[in-house]
């Protein structure tokens, strides 16, 4: 009897321990902090990827548009976005009547196939992170941006996608990035692509990816459930982690930022995708240097966006932009969401110019070097109150700046950075982000100084580590001289960083 009681008590203790362990693990799973170790995460993600990609590739090929590549009769031009005055939506696609039915049939078939049975993009549950892509001359730019991300206090893991093994840099990927909680992912390998030494990534089935197409596939094959996409030259001014836990992302799962331009989507696209046209005053085109997406909520969105990008160069880029500035992947995500009925939030605050004055006395005529994007949380708070600054700027102060997309001048010291940051007489140095004052004040602090500090660190500590960028023996000293002339010189231009 006594032995039986001891045995029973031992079983109760054992069961209690199991229950406690289960609760602890469930708690950590809920928090998303201790879910699996890195190897377990990678193994789980890997098991998801292979069956997914086989079916996905099959569907991409099966529902190819059975019509020739699209051609434009003329470009849609450069219409600026205006939230008050609507412009007429026009078709510039040649032979539209011949294209409509085959593209609609393919679009219908692809969407129907995604749902029977439902195809789900792979990810590790309860994970979040930053995804980017870079290679070659963009690798130093990415490292600068990554170091800046860490300076904001952001600790999210980062996955950097390189197109194929030719862009993989062993020292950067295996020594530099892991110390910054980042890793390289070779897209051609995780996608099972063949011919990695070719200029294009291509599978036996014919999957070919390059340039704008890479972004949508990198997001799909990343391991995170919630993704912050950052272009290699898109600089965060603040820690973006909280954006994933705040409105508008919490309720929509997809947040995008605007470009300068009005929508120039062809009316033909709306017929193909069976959507009603939206007014050109409703939203600007997307500037896809940064966006937030939940793969759990927007699996169908991402798959359709990848379809648009796979057939982008031949069909969908012309259809969605018609030759307007930035034609490429920029509107594929938001239009895919609309096509599948997904929720999304487009930041309403206009993108702001950042640069330097063309003339010393004018704060309105500037030489553009970068694009400033607003805090989506502050923007959402205003629009929920019915305050639309995009229609009337006097209704409220502008939201703070959150990202600066250095689209014109990249912070790669081995590129043309040091040349364009000279002053007009070539005998000194100058700031690149000094105007207009209304934009600079929204930064809240001297972000350009912080950027240049990391440019200096990368130039002087890692300069010789990059395989595809020649930093030269004197570049470190050149960058130091710029730093001293612009940021340590008491006589240098001072700026106001408070609104």
Quick one: 340 and 412 in the same domain? no
Measured CA to CA, the distance from residue 42 to residue 36 in angstroms comes to 9
Q: Is residue 492 part of a domain?
A: no
Element (H, E) at 443: helix 437-443
* Neighbouring C-alpha atoms within 13 Å toward the C-beta of 58: 9
Of 46-55, 114-123, 218-227, the range with the lowest mean pLDDT is 46-55
pLDDT of residue 147: 98
Q: Is the peptide bond before 117 cis (omega within 30 degrees of 0)?
A: yes
Measured CA to CA, the distance from residue 102 to residue 90 in angstroms comes to 21
Non-local (6+) Cβ contacts of 437 within 8 A are 363, 495, 496
Place of tokens 């362990």: 21
Decide which of 72 and 360 is more confident. Answer: 72
Measured CA to CA, the distance from residue 448 to residue 433 in angstroms comes to 7
pLDDT of residue 195: 42
Q: How confident is the model at residue 297 (pLDDT cuts 50, 70, 90)?
A: very high
Residue 166 φ/ψ, nearest 5 degrees? -65, -20
pLDDT digit string, tens, across residues 93-140 = 999 999 999 999 999 999 999 988 888 999 999 999 999 999 999 999
Q: Is residue 497 part of a domain?
A: no
Quick one: 409 and 330 in the same domain? no
pLDDT of residue 160: 97
Strands 286-294 and 254-258: antiparallel
Coil, helix or strand at residue 143: helix
Residue 63 φ/ψ, nearest 5 degrees? -110, 40
Does residue 24 carry a pLDDT above 60? no
Element (H, E) at 290: strand 286-294
Residue 188 φ/ψ, nearest 5 degrees? -65, -30
Quick one: 315 and 361 in the same domain? no
- Give the residue numbers spanning the domain of 328: 39-346
Quick one: 12 and 44 in the same domain? no
- Which pair of tokens denotes residue 351? 């993108």
Contact 72, 323 (CB under 8 A): yes
The torsion region of residue 464 among left (phi > 0), alpha (psi -120 to 50) and beta comes to alpha
Quick one: 362 and 337 in the same domain? no
Q: Is residue 495 part of a domain?
A: no
Q: Is residue 304 part of a domain?
A: yes
Helix (H) and strand (E) counts in the chain:
17, 13
Radius of gyration of the chain (CA): 25
**Helix runs in 227-355, H state only:** 249-252, 267-273, 299-310, 317-321, 332-340
Does residue 283 carry a pLDDT above 50? yes
Quick one: 23 and 47 in the same domain? no
Contact 304, 111 (CB under 8 A): yes
Q: Is residue 119 part of a domain?
A: yes
Place of tokens 């390059």: 210
pLDDT of residue 34: 39
pLDDT of residue 424: 63
Measured CA to CA, the distance from residue 42 to residue 40 in angstroms comes to 5
Q: Is residue 496 part of a domain?
A: no
pLDDT of residue 366: 87
Quick one: 420 and 447 in the same domain? yes
Measured CA to CA, the distance from residue 99 to residue 103 in angstroms comes to 6
Domain count, the chain: 3
Place of tokens 């100084």: 449
pLDDT of residue 39: 54
Q: CATH number, domain at 284? A: 3.90.550
Non-local (6+) Cβ contacts of 392 within 8 A are none
Contact 489, 449 (CB under 8 A): no
Q: Is residue 243 part of a domain?
A: yes
Quick one: 370 and 388 in the same domain? yes
Q: How far from each other are the two terminal CA atoms of the chain, in whole angstroms?
A: 80
pLDDT of residue 208: 64
Quick one: 203 and 145 in the same domain? yes
What is the b/e burial string over 453-464, where b = at least 16 CB atoms within 10 angstroms of the residue's CB? bbbbebbeebbe
Q: Is the pTM of this model over 0.95?
A: no
Quick one: 145 and 76 in the same domain? yes
**Of the candidates 487, 489, 467, 463, the residue with the CA atom closest to the CA atom of residue 475:** 463
Q: Describe the strand order of the beta sheet including 234-236 as a list of residue ranges.
A: 234-236, 401-405, 366-374, 352-357
Quick one: 259 and 376 in the same domain? no
- Which pair of tokens denotes residue 178? 């892991």
Q: Is residue 498 part of a domain?
A: no
Cβ-based neighbour number of residue 119 at 10 Å: 15
pLDDT of residue 4: 45
Contact 372, 442 (CB under 8 A): yes
Chosen domain end from 346, 376, 396: 346
Measured CA to CA, the distance from residue 104 to residue 125 in angstroms comes to 34
pLDDT digit string, tens, across residues 379-432 = 999 999 999 999 999 999 999 999 999 999 999 988 889 888 887 655 578 899
Non-local (6+) Cβ contacts of 323 within 8 A are 72, 74, 75, 76, 77, 92, 264
Chosen domain end from 286, 312, 346: 346
Quick one: 252 and 374 in the same domain? no
Chosen domain end from 346, 370, 402: 346
């Amino acid at each position: 009897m006594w032995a039986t009681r001891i045995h029973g008590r031992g079983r109760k203790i054992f069961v209690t321990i199991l229950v406690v362990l289960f609760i602890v693990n469930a708690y950590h799973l809920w928090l998303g902090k201790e879910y699996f170790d890195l190897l377990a995460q990678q193994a789980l993600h890997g098991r998801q990827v292979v069956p997914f990609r086989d079916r996905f590739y099959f569907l991409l090929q099966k529902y190819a548009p059975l019509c020739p590549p699209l051609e434009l009769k003329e470009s849609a031009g450069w219409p600026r976005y205006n939230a008050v005055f609507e412009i007429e939506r026009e078709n510039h696609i040649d032979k539209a009547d011949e294209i409509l039915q085959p593209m609609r049939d393919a679009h219908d078939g692809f969407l129907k196939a995604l749902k029977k049975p439902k195809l789900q993009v792979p990810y590790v549950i309860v994970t979040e992170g930053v995804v980017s892509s870079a290679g070659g001359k963009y690798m130093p730019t990415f490292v600068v941006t990554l170091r800046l991300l860490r300076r904001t206090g952001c600790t999210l893991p980062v996955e950097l996608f390189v197109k194929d093994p030719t862009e993989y840099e062993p020292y950067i990927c295996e020594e530099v990035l892991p110390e910054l909680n980042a890793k390289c992912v070779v897209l051609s390998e995780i996608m099972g692509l063949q011919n990695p030494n070719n200029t294009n990534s291509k599978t036996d089935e014919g999957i070919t990816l390059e340039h704008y197409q890479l972004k949508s596939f990198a997001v799909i094959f990343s391991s995170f459930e919630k993704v912050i996409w950052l272009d290699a030259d898109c600089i965060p001014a603040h820690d973006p982690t909280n954006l994933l836990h705040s409105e508008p992302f919490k309720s929509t799962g997809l947040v995008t930022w605007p470009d300068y331009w009005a929508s120039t989507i062809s009316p033909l696209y709306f017929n193909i995708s069976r959507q009603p046209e939206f007014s050109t005053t409703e939203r600007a085109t997307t500037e896809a240097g940064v966006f937030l997406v939940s793969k759990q909520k927007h699996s169908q969105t991402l798959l359709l966006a990848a379809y648009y990008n796979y057939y982008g160069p031949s069909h969908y880029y012309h259809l969605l932009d018609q030759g307007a500035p930035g034609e490429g992947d920029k509107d594929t995500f938001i239009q895919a969401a609309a096509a599948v009925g997904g929720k999304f939030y487009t930041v309403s605050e206009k993108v702001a110019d950042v640069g330097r004055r063309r003339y010393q006395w004018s704060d309105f005529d500037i030489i553009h070097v970068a694009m400033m994007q607003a805090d989506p949380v502050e923007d959402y708070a205003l629009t929920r109150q019915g305050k639309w600054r995009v229609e009337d700027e006097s209704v409220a102060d502008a939201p703070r700046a959150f990202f600066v997309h250095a689209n014109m001048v990249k912070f790669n010291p081995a590129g043309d950075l040091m040349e364009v940051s000279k002053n007009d007489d070539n005998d000194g140095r100058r700031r690149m982000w000094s105007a207009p004052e209304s934009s600079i004040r929204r930064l809240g602090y001297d972000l350009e100084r912080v950027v240049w500090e990391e440019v200096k660190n990368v130039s002087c500590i890692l300069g010789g580590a990059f395989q595809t960028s020649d930093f030269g023996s004197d570049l470190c000293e050149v960058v130091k001289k710029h730093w001293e002339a612009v940021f340590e010189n008491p006589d240098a231009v001072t700026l106001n960083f408070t609104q």
